[in-house]
Every structure is written in structure tokens, then in C-alpha cells.
Amino acid sequence: MHILVTGASGFVGSRLVEVLTVKDGVQVTGAIRRQPAGGNKAVTQINVGELSPETNWSEALSGVDEVVHTAARVHVMNDVESDPLAVFRKVNVEGTLNLARQAVAAGVTRFIFISSIKVNGEGTVSGRPYTADDVPSPADPYGVSKMEAEAGLRDIAASTGLEVVVIRPVLVYGPGVKANFLNVMRLLDKGIPLPFGAIYNKRSLVALDNLVDLVITATVHPSAANQIFLVSDGEDLSTTQLLRRIAEALNKKALLLPVPSALLSFGAALLGKKSLSQRLVGSLQVDIEKTRSLLSWVPPISVEQGLKLAASHYIKRDK
């Protein structure tokens, strides 16, 4: 089987390529935006440039049986674009559907789309986790673009017979994680006191290796065709619990001050950081029962193992 992985130099794509290359009977082509300094010598890398409605995928799609599409314009906390939705649509919707149409023309049989839990929404209430079959309710341009890309892929599948698999991850962490997760590791590593010792929310996360394992399962499982799957580690944590677990993985003690979550939310609103407050104080849980039952899938590593892998990488390379 020949698989094309887009975004092959990214956080998810690079790990997926690394795991796929050691599997028997699998040939991997990695699509990248620019030529990296190094790279996996066992993988054919093709520079396709920026993901757009005009991208020419002909070389990358040659001989390919399946596509795993991880490339995207990702969520931006403080977007400076005058019309963020238009920019997200150009890349995440039009760029994705352009790839899918060319994939059909090239004879690709299955298209695995890495979407986002933001298609479901921004948060859940206690006892009501998101499911794969919920009516979408995206609240920002990024989530809207992913929802529209999913809808466009379903239309292409219906008219061509292309098998489309949609995977909506929650927050992904692991070796090489960046952004807020890396910043938190740095703060905990330095022993800086944080005002997050009394947060009793529940949030789902997914270790990078768990997400990659599900993607690989979706490349071969017959029941994955034309389905939507949510993915997590199967254990939900409060922000307070997560910070303590990260500190343990770093062999540090978390200094967490018991500031009430309502006070944190109020302060964040005053500072114009409401979305960040939602991530720290609000809940976002997912139900992965459909993923478990339909694909007979179980997360291969635990939260502790996932955090240890992330922490070890940080200590060796990012510290």
C-alpha cells in the first residue's frame, strides 16, 4: 500500500511518517511545504508548496492508494488577518477539496482527513461529552473551515466513491509539542507558582502516539470508510490534575495556588483572554465509544506514558 501524508514535516505528520515507514508492505510519500534540512531517507519527500486551491498534487499522488491529510492552516490565538474565515477557507476548505479531487483522478481509494474537535464546539457541560454524531457547532473561523471541509469531502465521496475517514482530535501532546503546552512545561520546570490549584473541570487530551495509531488503523480497517471518529486517551483530567501530572513527568513539584476558577475567568475576561480562560477553566470531553467499538481500537499508551514522552523530549531538546 502506498500512502501520501501531507504536512509530513509537521507535529503529527512527521510522527505518522516515522511510524508508517517501519511497517511491512507500506510505501510512504511525504508532502512538505519547503525542503527540510534533513529528513527520513526511507521516505520520498515532495515539495508541493503552500496548501491552496491551485496546488498541483500530480507528482505527490503518483501511484498512491490512500491519502492522510494532516496539512492545514492551524488555529491562531490572536489572528491578525482582516478576514480570518476567508483565509481559513482558502487553505482548509478549498485547498483540501482541490487535493481530494486530484486524488480521485489519480485513483486514490481512501482519504483520511485530520479535522478538529472544534467542529463540535468549544466546550461541554458536565456529563455530556461530545460524540461523533453530534450536530456540529463550531464557534471560530478555524472550526468553521474544518466543518466545511468535512462537508465538501462527503459530497466528493458521494459522487465518486472515494472513501473518506474524518478524525477529530482533541488537544494533541507529545514529543516536540509547541505553543501553550510547551510554555506550561517551561513554567513548571522552572518552579514558577501558577494560580491553577482549584480547577475542577474535565478535559480530554490525546497523546501523539495514540492519534497516530488511530490514523494507521483507519488506513486499513474496512469499517472506517465514510465515518467520523473522535479520539482521546480515554482518561479526562482537570487542569489542576494535568499540571500536576506534567510536573511529575518532569520530576518536579507543581506549585499551584488555589485561586477560584470564577475569579480566573473574571480576570481573563477583563484582559480580553476569554478564549484562553475557556481552555484553562472550562470542560471539553469527548466520548470515543464509537471509535472503540467500530474499529476495535484501544489507546495503546496511557496519559502517564504520553506525558513522560513529551517531558523527556523537552528535557533533552527544548529545555
Q: Which residues are catalytic?
A: 142
How far, in Å, CA of 143 to CA of 75, rounded?
8
Q: Which residues contact 1 (CB under 8 A, 6 or more apart)?
A: 25, 26, 27, 65, 66, 219, 220
- 178 close to 171: Cβ distance less than 8 angstroms: no
Within 13 Å, how many C-alpha atoms sit on residue 43's CB side? 30
- 237 close to 202: Cβ distance less than 8 angstroms: yes
Radius of gyration (Cα) for the chain, nearest Å? 20
Cell of 311: 517531558
Q: Which residues contact 110 (CB under 8 A, 6 or more apart)?
A: 65, 66, 67, 162, 163, 164, 165, 219, 225
Q: Where are the beta strands (DSSP E) in 60-204?
A: 66-69, 110-114, 163-169, 171-173
